[in-house]
Structure 1
């Protein structure tokens, strides 16, 4: 989906656009964008996010930069229950599996993506048809010093495991607020990685994901 509006020129303009979408359902948004609503999102997992990018004027596409690059703001949709709880973890970016020596948190894509985030909750329980899922009120967020410290600690732990050739030992249980999980359309996809003895191996692509407890805290703090 290509954006149908110009890039927003300020945080406030972006937030105003997002506020104007709050309360609408995905069928109404799809109509605005001139696209059809898929019956389910199993094969089109990122569809709602792409739809919002289209309507809000995000032009970064799949580049390793924030969605609103000139504003340094990343867009993240957050499926929630009727009780306001996140329904799933939140994908951040691809995890590098080679040439990781010397990488630092300060220069990481994770830090760039999470420095400033426009969170858009979507009421998206599985019993609600895709077309009827409702856009919630947006939230502009930057991590507090404590939140960034937790993210950095997880990133450094996980990247150290990758550097030591322990990619296959990493599970979703590693990390307090952020985890690494396989990120591939199917199990046959492989990418270059480093083995336990430093040898080249092939592994499933991995991605960084925010755990539900972390995004739950973001939502809870926004309503205080």
Structure 2
């Protein structure tokens, strides 16, 4: 496994080295088996890129590159550069939401500095044939930060008020809250409408496609469709 990168320049140099490779070619270099499809291996692409770039955070509640305070996000795109799905950020706390502040939130910390790795991943492409794009580092500007904060605060207020069942994917301009569980039996503690503890599906924060498309457009000087 490659050593952890010493600085941001080193990690961008590694991104340059793997840009244009297929996931199959990179997996062969790292001697990692390639799944036939990703239905049972949803995290495989991210894990492969973490290995290639020397990320050490793993599944722990820390940044993927802790010493650089940098998060790695792979972004599947189509041939037109449009993200194919929303981007998972982190698990949402369904209890203890009252009193939480945006600057200390895990969403804010996770998105303070992100290494984006676009992956050409049309639906009909086998995992091995998908192509790694040029990685880039992004930090939210003041306007993006304000949008993220507003959505987070509104969603957290609904959670604290026990209105979890009322939150739909349409809530939020750039950030949404969605169920995140492999099956309906994976329940976690939450607050009910009457303020009492209930069991609910775990939820996760996700960046909406329009937001990540705008990030790509900003990074590569493209026009962003609204």
**Interval containing the TM-score (normalised by the shorter chain):** over 0.9
Q: 1:151 aligns with which of 127, 148, 158?
A: 148
CA distances 1:55-80 after superposition (whole Å, capped 9, x unpaired): 11111111222100110110000000
Deviation at 1:46, TM superposition (A): 1.3
Partner of residue 130, structure 1: 127
TM-score, normalised relative to structure 2: 0.96
Q: 1:27 aligns with which of 24, 28, 36?
A: 24
What are the within-5 Å matches in structure 2 for residues 150-169 of structure 1? 150-169=147-166
Q: Is the 8 A contact 1:178 1:208 kept in 2?
A: yes
Query: What is the distance in 1 between the residues matched to 2:43 and 2:16?
Result: 21
Q: Is the 8 A contact 1:18 1:138 kept in 2?
A: yes
Partner of residue 45, structure 2: 48
Q: What SS class does the counterpart of residue 149 from structure 2 fall into?
A: helix
Partner of residue 60, structure 1: 57
C-alpha root-mean-square deviation of aligned residues, in Å? 0.7
5+ residue gaps, structure 2: 222-226
Partner of residue 188, structure 1: 185
CA distances 1:166-210 after superposition (whole Å, capped 9, x unpaired): 111111010000100000011111000000111000000000000
Q: What SS class does the counterpart of residue 36 from structure 2 fall into?
A: coil
5+ residue gaps, structure 1: none
Deviation at 1:117, TM superposition (A): 0.4
Q: What SS class does the counterpart of residue 54 from structure 1 fall into?
A: helix
Runs of 4+ in 1 over 4 A off after TM superposition: none
Query: What is the distance in 1 between the residues matched to 2:212 and 2:2?
Result: 29
